Structure 1
Amino acid sequence: MSNLNTESAVLDSAHVGDIRGAFGTIRHDDIAPRTGWLQRLKTLMAILGPGLIVMVGDNDAGAFSTYGQAGQNYGTLLLWTLALLVPVLYVNQEMVLRLGVVTGVGHARLILDRFGKFWGAFSAIDLFILNALTIVTEFIGISLGMDFLGVPKVVGVCLAAVFIMFAASTGDFRRFERFSLILVFGSLLLVPIFLMIHPPMTQVAHDFFIPQLPADGKLSEVLLLIIGIVGTTVAPWQLFFQQSYVIDKRITPRFIKYERADLWLGIALVVIGAVAMIAFTAQVFAGHPEFGNFTDAGAIAAGIAKYHGRLPGVLFAVALIDASIIGAMAVSLSTAYALGDVLSLKHSLHRKPGDAKGFYLMYCGLIALAAALVLIPGVPLGLLTNAVQTLAGVLLPSATVFLLLLCNDKEVLGPWVNKRFTNVVTAVIVAILVLLSVILTSSVAFPDMSGETITDILIGGSIVGLIVAIAVNVVHAREAVDKVGQAANDATFTQQMMHAWRMPPLGKLKPMVLSRRNRIWMGVLRGYLVVAMGMVIFKVVQLAMA
């Protein structure tokens, strides 16, 4: 780790060159310091994009459905989940953007090379299946929005599919990013809807900061929805997309602080949109027969129009279509990037379709398949959408575990490895996510379990998780103290050296050797995934039959 690497580890030569963002260009050889506020603003404008797209892209059709269900069925009582997810969003996405700018290699390929073929294949197949289902939900959102606007389903879905394919297939990265950022700004349509419906701000603020569970309703269904909120707000595809997109944009460690600012802007937009949806949906249906009887996002648009006028209903439908399109673009790209990485194909938006056939074939193929599935009559749209978000919430702990291990791998990140605080926070996050899944499993196995029992599990599990997290980090601290020579060597890195450090080519990395403790945890993780996924599928089928 002591040498500064001049060899590039990037897998596609198109990932090296000038940064050509939507709002500016930074030359590849531009190493001048940014001293004045105007220079820094210009740099930020050129970097702006990955954080905004990945965050707003996750306020997609699934988010509209999940947040809408939370508001329509339980009012604003679940707003607090969004406040708790803010640090989760930042910690997870900061780690992947750091991996991207330092390594130049996508998330799926790093898992394959560092953890072996089994986990590499598992992550790629898992991502492909979950993303394919997620893209279907995006077209469900498009069809529901178009239906409200009076556009025939076949016409609306086909036009949207063509636009999504065209937006990414021009061979011009800047053009794609401009398309995407127009859609990002379109998400702000939720703000005027909020102002028109005007939910009580005092209640919204109270429920955002004070955790509580609804007094009525089945506890297992409430927990299923909470896990769905987690899954739609912090989805696994985001990790793969953000890492690959910053690589494709050619962002290097020199500009990481600007990319972190871009990420914070995206988090702000996603939280504003989510809070607005839950709050105005709660206000629309409060005291009406539809309250507690969520069906889908199309019914929310109809309810808004019924009780507050046609204009906010139309704005909601347009916002739904806008969110579904950007979601479909981002999720499809994350899949194409990941498979391109694993299969060593050319995979860059800087390349034209003829120069990266496999990459664009995967991207367009997923879009075409999802659009076709949505046009099949009789598909339970609302249930499928929420099932996908819940499954994403269950799979998130495994994705976060891989992310945490990679960000502590000095062969991969060198001086950019996680600080102790990040490790502690991430360990707590993983513990909480697993705890939610354990509660879901328990509520399925024991449907009559009382709220007091759930509270006991939450408190007990939180204490155990905290103790485990502290113990693990104490052990790591002792190991770090034993490596005094290495620590002293790390301390010699200046900011300039940090900016110049890049991961060596994958073939030159020392193999990762997992400790017995980590191998045990990986085995536990595998068992957890099997049980948790089985319980989610069982619960969803149970709800469908009911």
Structure 2
Amino acid sequence: MPQTLPPTGDREAVMTDLSTTATAPPASALRTAVLDDAHVGDIRGALGTIKLDDTAPRRGLSAKLKTLLAIVGPGLIVMVGDNDAGAFGTYSQAGQNYGTSLLWTLLLLIPVLYVNQEMVLRLGAVTGVGHARLILERFGKFWGAFSVIDLFLLNALTIVTEFIGITLAVGYLGLPKAPSVLLAAAIVVVAASTGSFRRFERTAILLCAGSLLLIPVYFIAHPSTGRMAHDFVVPGMPHGSQLSDVMLLIIAIVGTTVAPWQLFFQQSYVIDKRITPRFMRYEKADLWLGIVIVVIGAAAMMGFCAAAFGGHGEFGHFTDSGHVAAGLEKYAGKTAGVLFAVALLDASVIGACAVSLSTAYAIGDVMGLKHSLHRGIKGAKGFYAVFAGLILTAAIIVIIPGSPLGLLTEGVQTLAGVLLPSASVFLLLLCNDRTVLGPWVNGRAMNAFTSIVVAVLVTLSVILTAAVLFPGITSTAILDTMAVCGVAGILALGYAETRRRRKGWALAGPVDRMDKENWRMPPLDQLPQPVISTGRKVGLAALRTYLLAAMILVIVRIVQLALGH
């Protein structure tokens, strides 16, 4: 590995000086911005080890396979963790209410999943600094605080939905609710707080394997393979359904598949695993493995729900994942119901673990706390306090009689959709910051695609906010909103290009990507202050205004619903 920081020592020893130019210095002189010295050292993955001083080239299939096994983990865990309790509900609802007609959304989401996660993977490996801390350093205190606060609130609600999934699963399996929830919470806390990164990752990968239980359910229900293949590649809308309801479900699928917590978790976990740019190709392979598994799981849920409920009275009347398990038992057999419930329990546990860790990592990064799974509880008290506090609070909320669990689930999906554009905007800006990524910055093709993705996410966010405020929103209103957002985006792009030509600004020159495997971001206090153009300031101010207004309006609406208004 090219990085040569000492494996132990204080923070000052880690944050040593480095020239801020994008030209890679000799490897022997390289220093980085890594904030916790536990993030430097041997890679001790669940399935293998790579020594810090192991710089030998990987030649031959055996050597490459061993390296891949040692690297596997971040991409797999973040993707499988995304198929959590909320995803089970969303994909099951799509299958039970509309058959396999919305399978095509998964195909369209594959490049979005890859691009978003590849960018945070790059940021983590190259900078050694978490997502929230980079936002704080490059965009100021407001956005740094906003990113952590909204992540904390949204993640806290998301963890509650994970424990709601646990109650639905154990309820179907006939297990007592309160003891099961508390036991699950204890297992999650213990699994992450042993002070051994490898032990945690082995547990997490074992839980990832549990998601494969959805595959036998698919074969038991035996949906039409030909129909699924057609609907996967040919976009279409369900016949005889309200367009507004279908579009809101599509937005929910996007929101549950591309969640803000994923960006923060993946970047911090890559750093904690001590992965450097040298192993970027292997980590991308790990990411693709996770994407394949998450898409297979989502497609399986849509498929077996369509097959089990099609032609029966429950078709088109989704309630929750617990009723899905009961319906599978009714129409596909007891084994199918049990496997689905166990997979739901497994998904809820790994989801709670990953979402909690993303919050603990972000807070530790911003507040300067020790934040690594390589440390025991004594070595990172604040980190583990945040993690355990979120888990236990969510568990207690779920077992309190009368808690508005259904409303909390709806609120999470809504807030995730509202806040996702801001996360994507900052991700795109950071990946074009040459001071931060040097030779690893985005190319033009990546920027063009990501800009389109961000525009689509902003549009979906606006529609979702409008749908919460006006539950009776019509299909015409949704289409009109999409048209207005599209015109606004084109006008903004035209204005930016006109201003560039009028001012005579040249596009950024070519990036020297030579020897990029040895390049790491300099220490944060060595980075020059970013120069933010007037247009970007206006855009960020508009985004800030929209997010604050949308969050307040959505929260007010949720409170009104909770009070029965």
- TM-score (structure 1 length as normaliser): 0.93
In structure 1, the partner of 2:456 is 432
Matching residue within 130, 154, 163 for 1:106: 130
Alignment match, 2:379: 355
1:87 aligns with 2:87: no
Q: 2:531 aligns with which of 496, 501, 513?
A: 513
Query: Does 2:229 correspond to 1:205?
Result: yes
C-alpha contact 1:54 1:330 (8 A) present in aligned 2:
yes
Displacement of 1:214 in angstroms is 3.4
Cα distance per residue 1:351-371 (max 9 Å; x no partner) = 011111111111111111010
- For residues 221 and 543 of structure 1, the distance between their equivalents in structure 2, rounded to whole angstroms, comes to 19
Structure 2 residue aligned with 1:498: 516
Amino acid paired to 1:433:
L
> Does 1:4 find its partner at 2:24?
yes
Q: Deviations over 1:141-200 (max 9, x none)?
A: 111111111110011101111110111011010010000000111100001101100111
Distance 1:310 1:482, change over 3 A: closer
- Written as runs of structure 1 = structure 2, the 5 A alignment for 1:259-298 is 259-298=283-322
**Out of 130, 134, 145, which is 1:121 matched to?**
145
Q: Which amino acid aligns with 2:229?
A: A
CA offsets per residue over residues 214-240 of structure 1, 9 Å max, x none? 344444433332222111101000000
Equivalent residue letter for 1:288: H
What number of residue pairs does the alignment pair up?
Answer: 539
Residue 350 of structure 2 corresponds to residue 326 of structure 1: yes
Within 2, Cα distance between the matches of 1:280 and 1:419? 41
8 A contact 1:253–1:500 mirrored in 2: yes
Distance in 1 (alpha carbons) for counterparts of 2:288 and 2:154: 26
Q: Alpha carbons of 1:474 and 1:409: their partners in 2 closer, same or farther (altered >3 Å)?
A: farther
Quote the residue 1:244 is aligned against.
268
Moved more, 256-265 or 218-227: 218-227
Q: Does the 8 Å contact 2:322/2:341 carry over to 1?
A: yes
Deviation at 1:77, TM superposition (A): 2.3
Q: Does 1:384 align with 2:384?
A: no
Instruction: Provide closer, same or farther for how the CA distance between residues 71 and 360 of structure 1 changes in structure 2, counting only shifts above 3 A.
Output: same
Contact 2:469 2:557 in 1 (8 A): no
| Distance in 1 between residues matched to 2:496 and 2:60, nearest whole Å | 44
For 1:282, give the aligned amino acid.
A
| More deviation, 155-164/288-297 | 288-297
User: Which residue is 1:192 aligned to?
Assistant: 216
Structure 2 SS opposite 1:355: coil
Tell me, in whole angstroms, the C-alpha distance in 1 between the residues paired with 2:504 and 2:194: 50
Residue 481 of structure 1, CA deviation? 4.7
Equivalent residue runs for 1:527-542 within 5 Å: 527-534=545-552, 536-537=554-555
Q: Contact (CA 8 Å) 2:123, 2:437: kept in 1 or not?
A: yes
1:133 aligns with 2:153: no
User: Where does residue 166 of structure 1 map in the other structure?
Assistant: 190
**Do the aligned partners of residues 540 and 289 (structure 1) sit closer, same or farther apart at CA in structure 2, a change above 3 Å counting?**
farther
Task: Provide the C-alpha distance between the structure 2 equivalents of 1:184 and 1:479, rounded to a whole number of angstroms.
Answer: 52
Match of 1:150 among 174, 192, 211: 174
Q: 2:91 maps to which residue?
A: 67
State which drifts further: 444-453 or 426-435: 444-453
Instruction: Read off the aligned partner of 1:506 and give its amino acid letter.
Output: L
Matched to 1:528, the amino acid is: Y
Query: Does the alignment pair 1:56 with 2:76?
Result: no
Deviation (angstroms), 1:480: 8.3
- Which of 268-277 and 445-454 deviates more? 445-454
Look up the SS of the partner of 1:261 in the other structure. Answer: helix
Task: For residue 41 of structure 2, give the secondary structure of its aligned residue in structure 1.
Answer: coil
For 1:10, give the aligned amino acid. Answer: V
Between the aligned residues of both structures, percent identity stands at: 63
* Paired residues of 2:418 and 2:465 also in contact (CA < 8 A): no
Query: Which of 187-196 and 473-482 deviates more?
Result: 473-482
**Could you list the per-position Cα deviations for residues 317-360 of structure 1 after superposition, in whole angstroms to 9, with x for gaps in the alignment?**
00000000100110010000000001100000000111111111
2:204 corresponds to which residue? Answer: 180
Q: Do the aligned residues in 1 keep the contact of 2:127 with 2:521 (CA within 8 Å)? A: yes
Contact (CA 8 Å) 1:58, 1:327: kept in 2 or not?
Answer: yes
User: Partner of 1:154: helix, strand, or coil?
Assistant: helix
Between 50-59 and 425-434, report the one with greater CA deviation.
425-434
Cα 1:505/1:219, change in 2 over 3 Å: same
Go from structure 1 to structure 2 and tell me whether the alpha carbon gap of 1:10 and 1:283 turns closer, same or farther (over 3 Å shift). same
Question: Do the aligned residues in 2 keep the contact of 1:219 with 1:443 (CA within 8 Å)?
Answer: no
Q: Which segment is superposed worse, 222-231 or 459-468?
A: 459-468
Deviation at 1:390, TM superposition (A): 2.8
Shift in alpha-carbon separation, 1:326–1:479, aligned structure 2, 3 A: farther
Residues 272 and 99 (structure 1 numbering): CA distance in 2 closer, same or farther, change over 3 Å?
A: same
Larger mean CA deviation between 146-155 and 388-397 belongs to 388-397
Name structure 2 gaps, 5 residues minimum: 1-20
Name the SS for the 2:82 alignment partner: coil
**Match among 372, 392, 397 for residue 373 of structure 1:** 397
Distance 2:439 2:159 in 1: 37
| Structure 2 counterpart SS, 1:7 | coil
Shift of 1:284: 1.6
- In structure 2, the partner of 1:338 is 362
Relative distance call for 1:174 and 1:475 in structure 2 (3 A) is: farther
TM-score by length of 2: 0.90
The residue type paired with residue 4 of structure 1 is A
Query: Partners of 2:393 and 2:482 in 1: how far apart?
Result: 41
2:249: which partner in 1? 225
Task: List per-residue Cα deviations over 1:496-528 (Å, max 9, x = no partner).
Answer: x21111001000000112111111111111222
Alpha-carbon distance in 2 for matches of 1:260, 1:419: 17
Matching residue of 2:13: none
Aligned residues: CA RMSD:
2.4
SS in structure 2 at match of 1:57: helix
5+ residue gaps in structure 1? none
Supply the AA of the counterpart residue of 2:24. L
2:388 alignment counterpart = 364
Q: Distance in 1 between matches of 2:299 and 2:39?
A: 37
Deviation at 1:441, TM superposition (A): 4.5
Matched residues in 1 for 2:475 and 2:533: separation? 39
- Return the alpha-carbon distance in structure 2 between the equivalents of residues 466 and 16 of structure 1: 45
Amino acid at match of 2:343: A
- Which has the larger displacement, 306-315 or 460-469? 460-469
CA distance in 1, matches of 2:372, 2:258: 25
In the aligned structure 2, how far is the partner of 1:474 from the partner of 1:329?
A: 48
